[in-house]
Structure 1
């Protein structure tokens, strides 16, 4: 094995250990460019030198920086507009009916990156305020990247980020110019909160979400890890809740915990599991 291959293996194992993601052959080409800023910070030139540094004891902070650099935080407001149309036309009306008595909704944006997806959902609720009057709407955004979560919590976006996906009217209605950046308003931020979380860990509180959006996250996992992630999501979703995946992602052939919904190729519903009949490994995973 060439030194470069060994270096990529070291970095790939680190990424998998921390996030569950695989550094596949298709992703290796972008490793050097993704780490270029870290190279400059450390005064090194290549992956081989970085791998040597990672092998030294006590380099946990460096390991965290490497993983953060490798994560794909690409996102924007109302990414894939058709998906948000499905939410508005099918999912939210269903939840409005089924939760009419409690008037409470809990939504989990898993793999939220820098928060645009969660804030896009909040904008939908704000624009439909008559329907949701006197409702309690809680949108939790989680991501394995601490840096991305910090940005999401700040609600601050650059001019470039703010122009991706939202109209001028939405920009003026839900954001304020803040010295060259744009600050999300309290109107939408009050519905959201963000925390660092790995989807392979136990679901975050409240633990029984009415809607889970997990788009473009599972495609980075191998089949076994993807199945484990579905198990985790299944334990955190209401029995009559909704799961939305991204383009190129499906439950078919991947898990028995969800089934396709009868509307929209990206929407799925939980399948009831009788824990008394489940395998011990499954019962353990659901704790």
Structure 2
């Protein structure tokens, strides 16, 4: 891979996915794209780049973007956000929504489904407390491949061993050969939609809780700020935003404010000041979400 090839790929990935690769990530590009090039019958990354430049290469470009995304996830990942969900968010939201008896949660960059299904299992555990409630869990991701896997709800032994308590495995899964499938009652709680965080997502409607974890770390500051501004329009004023352990709104946007003594938990900031140029859609050059 030549320096020009790498610069072409950096620009392409930034525009198509938001992925902001530093100048020293050639090894990462090679490790993920050399197998893709060989699969396409090409000698290496330079030929892959030339084919993408030749035009009519959208399917190949989509494969390149997907190959460069990170789909690392597991059930109840990091544990703390799910403790906050059970101990802080759900008690507050259920009390505030008692009259309308409806709850909406969005999992942005949901990958293969472990996060939204973990949330579904938390809600299922409330039992009669949610009887008669309308529950919407919306799981979105750029990749159709991971969404299809999520819809199927079929996981390997390795996947169910990562973070999933044994009692929940026994309660909510059925063994199918060497795999485990989530029972239909849990799968039916989650809606799947392909979505691009860098494009408009106002059509999703408003939410009580947004989980957007371990994805914004791959974006530059302006892209993060724009996403926060647009997400703030989708969260009810008494709702919540959940970020990953290495992510924060502090110093990036005042659309949200930290929830006291709850790491990774934020609420809409009613006193926010919208930065010029960030209230609307992202710049046209940004076309797709990147890493998860």
Answer yes or no: same fold by TM over 0.5: yes
Taking the aligned partners of 2:265 and 2:275, their CA distance within structure 1 comes to: 27
The more displaced of 109-118 and 261-270 is: 261-270
Cα distance between partner residues in 2 of 1:36 and 1:137: 43
Q: Distance in 1 between matches of 2:103 and 2:21?
A: 36
SS at match of 1:281: coil
Distance of 1:284 and 1:146 partners within structure 2: 26
Counterparts in 2 of 1:180 and 1:222: CA distance versus 1, 3 Å: same
Q: Is the 8 A contact 1:200 1:232 kept in 2?
A: no
Alignment CA distance shift 1:104-1:199 (3 Å)? same
Change (3 A) 1:204 1:285: closer
Measured on the aligned residues, the alpha-carbon RMSD in Å equals 2.0
> Deviation digits for residues 159-197 of structure 1, max 9, x if unmatched?
221221112221121111223322111121121011110
Given candidates 16, 21, 27, the residue that maps to 1:23 is 21
Instruction: Compare 46-55 and 21-30 and name the one that shifted more.
Output: 21-30
Match of 1:233 in 2: 231
Contact 2:38 2:44 in 1 (8 A): no
Residues 201, 232 of structure 1: 8 Å contact kept: no
Contact 1:106 1:209 in 2 (8 A): yes
Tell me which of 166, 169, 175 is aligned to 1:177. Answer: 175
> Displacement of 1:201 after TM fit?
1.9
Q: 2:192 & 2:105 partners in 1: Cα distance?
A: 12
Q: Give the TM-score normalised by structure 1.
A: 0.92
SS at the partner of 2:127? Answer: coil
Q: Note the 1:48-87 alignment, pairs <5 A.
A: 48-87=46-85
Aligned-pair distance for 1:46? 2.6
Q: Report the CA distance between 1:278 and its aligned residue.
A: 5.8
List gaps (5 residues or longer) in structure 1: none
Quote the residue 2:135 is aligned against. Answer: 137
**Matching of residues 248-267 of structure 1 within 5 Å:** 248-267=246-265
Instruction: Note the C-alpha offset of 1:279.
Output: 6.8
CA distance in 2, matches of 1:245, 1:91: 14
Q: Give 1:263 shift.
A: 3.4
Q: Are 2:151 and 1:153 equivalent residues in the alignment?
A: yes
> What is the match of residue 127 of structure 1?
125
Q: Which has the higher contact order (CA 8 A, sep 6+)?
A: 2
Matched with 1:268 is 266
CA distance in 2, matches of 1:217, 1:205: 21
Partner-residue secondary structure (3-state), 2:277: helix
Q: Of 261, 268, 277, which residue of structure 2 is paired with 1:281?
A: 277
Q: Which residue of 2 aligns with 1:37?
A: 35
Give the total of aligned pairs.
282
Q: Distance in 1 between matches of 2:213 and 2:50?
A: 35
Q: How big is the shift at 1:141?
A: 0.7
Post-superposition shift, 1:205?
Answer: 4.3
How much does 1:139 deviate? 0.5
Deviations 1:94-122 (A, max 9, x none): 11111111111000000111111000000
